[in-house]
Homo-oligomer: A and B are copies of this chain.
Amino acid sequence: MSAFDALMEHQSTTEALSSIAERLGWDQETVMPRGATEQRADEMAAIEAVLHERRADPRVGEWLDLAAGEAEDDEDRRMLELIGRDYRRATRIPARLAAELARATSLAQGIWAEARGNDDVGAFLPSLAEILMLKREEAGHLADSSAGAGALYDALLDDYEPGARADDISRLFDAMRPRLVRLRDDVMGAARQPETLRGHFPQETQLRLARQCATAFGYDWSRGRLDMAVHPFSSGRWQDSRITTRVVETDPFNCLYSTMHEVGHSSYELGIDSDYAFTILGRGVSLGVHESQSRIYENQIGRSRAFTGWLFERMSDAFNGLSVADADAFYGAVNRVSPGYIRTEADEVQYNLHVMMRFDLERDLIAGKIEPEHLEEAWNARFLADFGVAVNKPSNGVLQDVHWAVGLFGYFPTYALGNVYAGCLHQAMRAALPDLDTALSEGDASPAVEWLREQVQRHGALLPARELIEAASGMEVGPEPLLAYLEEKFGGIYGL
């Protein structure tokens, strides 16, 4: 067997174990008995340790050296590049640290959920401090020692958005922030304000509508399912990518748009060329690209005037009438910009401001400029400054997101990057599909889904993120398409 083939066979089992670990994570957040927390933490630690051993296996290093001359095409070369990347990361991180991180984050997830339920920041602080210490240690192993002060954070960011650098992202965010703040001010001060959708919306009906929306986006139910979770997520790849949602009976948009968002993530994984299953190409290439799919499904398509026209009819039928008079008012209610604490419930105008705030806070945590015990204070101060509102309780503030509890430092900025990518893709997609709104107004998102599958999803990890988005959209990645889309859309709704 050639070194290349031996390496691919080894990688295939690694991919299978990685898929299994992801499935265990789904189990933990949806169906696992609550008394199994410690055992599951040990199980996750064990499988992560085995994965780490496999990625750092000295034979992988040898195979990589030998296989370089055996690669026959771009796919082969890209697989070697990505396996080499994982190998370098894995050999730099001690197995002991990987296992400790897996165990600590598995345990912290339950502690975070309870702390959030009790609005008790103190109960979560020891976990946060431990995870932060472990992540800084990890970053220290990964970072280029000759790099500057931001090297630790960049090393973590690279795990989610390969090749990205925090300084570049800072510049991008700095360019976006003034126009977003201005748009928000204009919108908040506008004379014309959309109505809110009011009423009581039973859980079962919401879930039925959520399924209809997922179907409208072509979600393949034979390869997925919908469950409830505290913090909605999608999980899995290839033949099995599941989505989750949550229900607030006074606000059906929470459930419906969470669902469309997760359908975007799952569709990316399900849309990857099936030849890439059990290879390192069989995954979304970066979290930014992943988020571009979830956000374009949720926002540019799901919150469009055309699609909401269809949704208005479905919801009017399902709930025997709505508090808003017509499809235009409904479109306003869907896109209403109002003060709010929760990132995942934020409108398109303010969402990126949430992300920018977390990005700055977590950079400071990693740099040691904020200690965990001062994080709540720093959060609340920044929130007041950026959003003009005082946080009323930790579950609406520093405890709202699971990310830090599960060690996801460097993850938040990919949300805003995803929006920027989605802006580029949406502009190109509209140019390619001039009649898209006709289909959307009939609850049929398939032209958009097919365009995205063809241009983005099927490629898996074949092309680097920025290259993929530029090839798909035919433009250089930048904030302008997103900002122009937002200004036009909200200018229209608010009569600016």
* A binding-site residues for B, Cβ under 8 Å: 12-13, 16-17, 19-20, 23-24, 27, 31-40, 42-43, 45-47, 49-50, 220-225, 238-240, 242, 277-278
Known: A16-B47, A33-B240, A242-B33. A42 touches B221 (CB 8 A): no
Chain B neighbourhood of A43, CB < 8 A? 16, 19-20, 23
Question: A277 contacts B39, CB within 8 Å?
Answer: yes
Known: A36-B239, A277-B39. A47 touches B17 (CB 8 A): yes
Question: A240 contacts B16, CB within 8 Å?
Answer: no
A30–chain B nearest beta-carbon distance, Å: 9
Q: A16-B46, A39-B240 are in contact. List 16 more A-B contacts (CB 8 A).
A: A13-B46, A13-B49, A16-B42, A19-B43, A20-B43, A23-B43, A31-B31, A32-B240, A33-B239, A33-B240, A34-B222, A35-B220, A36-B223, A39-B238, A39-B239, A40-B239
Question: A31 contacts B277, CB within 8 Å?
Answer: no
CA distance A43 to B22 in the complex (A): 12
CA distance A239 to B223 in the complex (A): 29
In the complex, the chain B residue whose C-beta lies closest to that of A16 is: B46
Question: A47 contacts B20, CB within 8 Å?
Answer: yes
CA distance A183 to B24 in the complex (A): 49
Chain B neighbourhood of A50, CB < 8 A? 13, 17, 50
CA distance A45 to B16 in the complex (A): 9
A297–chain B nearest beta-carbon distance, Å: 20
CA distance A46 to B45 in the complex (A): 18
CA distance A262 to B263 in the complex (A): 36
A77–chain B nearest beta-carbon distance, Å: 25
Question: A222 contacts B47, CB within 8 Å?
Answer: no
Chain B neighbourhood of A19, CB < 8 A? 39, 43
Q: 20 A–B contact pairs at CB < 8 A?
A: A12-B46, A13-B50, A16-B43, A16-B45, A17-B47, A17-B50, A19-B39, A20-B43, A20-B46, A23-B27, A27-B27, A33-B222, A33-B239, A33-B240, A33-B242, A35-B240, A36-B239, A38-B239, A40-B239, A42-B278
CA distance A32 to B26 in the complex (A): 12
Chain B neighbourhood of A38, CB < 8 A? 239
A102–chain B nearest beta-carbon distance, Å: 11
A115–chain B nearest beta-carbon distance, Å: 19
